[in-house]
Amino acid sequence: MNVTQIHRVYFIGIGGIGMSALARYFAFIDKTVAGYDKTETPLTQELASSGIDVHYVDDIDSVADEYKNDPEHTLVVYTPAVPSNHKEYQFFVQNGFTIKKRSEVLGLITKDSFCLAVAGTHGKTTTSSILAHLLKETGVKMTAFLGGISEDFNSNFLLEGTEFSVVEADEFDRSFMQLTPNVACVTSMDADHLDIYGDAQELERTFKDFTERLKPGGKLFVRNGLPLEGLTYGIEDDSDYCIRNIKIEHGTYIFDLETPDLKLEGVEFNKPGRHNLLNGLVAFAMAMQAGPPPHRLAEALATFKGVQRRFSYQIKNDDFIYIDDYAHHPTEINAVFEAVSEMHPNKKVLAIFQPHLFSRTRDFANEFAKSLSRFENILLLDIYPAREEPITGVDSEWLLGKMTNGNRKLISKEQILSEIKNQNPEILITMGAGDIGLEVVKIKKEMSYAS
């Protein structure tokens, strides 16, 4: 693909977090951009307000003629979540257009840059957002494509230069096999996306294949304990990059950070949870490879604000705390529970969870039940189907029956506010990767008034 020959780019699934970042990139480099998505969201509204034409009906008549009539100069980008019988997709296939998956385009854009890629079944978005923040704060000119909205620059996309790039190496649909990074990390390899991989062993094999795509002389950082060869990082262990002597003061971690070459004392980091400490540590290690002074990186680590929907405080006062998180896997739910317990001990907690995908709920039902049952009070919403059709016998009532909480209940989204008020928690947590995120503003508004 020669970007100079592309005049316009059409996205099928433009509202996805990764797709919207690419749409912003092409608009930034003065390509004409438009796209389809099945649902209007704040992300698509922002794209539209920036001048990108977005529509919500799968109908080729809704696509502007300039995109339909010039295959030679039009690139079509699609997400794997789009079904093969999608009418617009089929039109472009049948009429000779250049059609590429999002991951292919990302690989092509970043292949000639010094690419820093963050892989792992959990932690990609937070780690890549910390990495982009560290590089930005220390003056490294780079392009960042993120899987969430960074609270530091209020976007999932940043373009300040093209010599360096920061990307998420997504294992879904083996997308990360399109990347050729200079520096990469693997944060975790827990079983997930078994609808794609079949079993955990195949997922692990594919992660190993990804690590072999590093450019010659490239560096790999691996969370200590994972079955991969690379520079290790961890907490209070024998890792190459290690956090030691952790204290918590006023909700902030203070610790020493050791690398193979130096030790930094009194480093600060504000995001709760040991998993986030590890994310910050590997982001620091990766950022060092771009050349900024380590003490500047440590200063920048202390100013990282966070990512929307990643242990994001919506309300935080003496009487009531509301936290929203994207957690949609048992390991992530455990991380949220442990972070809340560490930062806010001995509080009455109410967690609301929306399962994501029928297949994931089926594959990890026992693990979900165990992790959710750690919360004293839990409200469960119906499964968000995303790209899937229902699976017989797999629903939230079935999952609820596997849980052991004394106070657990299946509710509809319409019941959320009344249930919160009935239970009157000291800490409220909403979790899930589906449309529960669209409920956050309503909950925040109502509970800010109530509290």
Query: Would you list the domain boundaries of the chain?
Result: 3-102, 111-301, 312-450
Which amino acids are annotated as binding site for ATP, given as ranges? Answer: 120-126
- Please tell me the predicted confidence (pLDDT) of residue 203: 83
Instruction: Provide the CATH topology of domain 111-301.
Output: UDP-N-acetylmuramoyl-L-alanine:D-glutamate ligase (3.40.1190)
Rounded to 5 degrees, what angle do the CA atoms 333, 338, 340 make? Answer: 95
pLDDT tens-digit profile of 347-367?
999 999 999 999 999 999 999
Our CA dihedral for 16, 114, 231, 258, rounded to 10 degrees, sits at: -100
pLDDT tens-digit profile of 143-200?
999 999 999 999 999 999 999 999 999 887 778 889 999 999 999 987 665 566 667 7
- Which of 112, 149, 161, 130 lies closest to 21, judged by CA? 149
Tell me how crowded residue 440 is: count the other CB atoms within 10 A of its CB. 16
Which amino acids are annotated as binding site, given as ranges? Answer: 120-126
How do strand 321-325 and strand 312-316 relate by DSSP bridges?
antiparallel
Across the range 322-333, mean pLDDT stands at 95
- Please tell me the predicted confidence (pLDDT) of residue 80: 81
Instruction: Provide the CATH topology of domain 312-450.
Output: Protein-Tyrosine Phosphatase; Chain A (3.90.190)
pLDDT tens-digit profile of 294-312?
999 999 999 999 999 899 9
Q: Is it the case that residue 217 has pLDDT exceeding 90?
A: yes
- Which of 311, 306, 310, 313 lies closest to 444, judged by CA? 313
Instruction: Provide the CATH topology of domain 3-102.
Output: Rossmann fold (3.40.50)
Tell me how crowded residue 13 is: count the other CB atoms within 10 A of its CB. 21
Is residue 334 classed as helix, strand or coil in its secondary structure?
helix
Same fold? 111-301, 312-450:
no
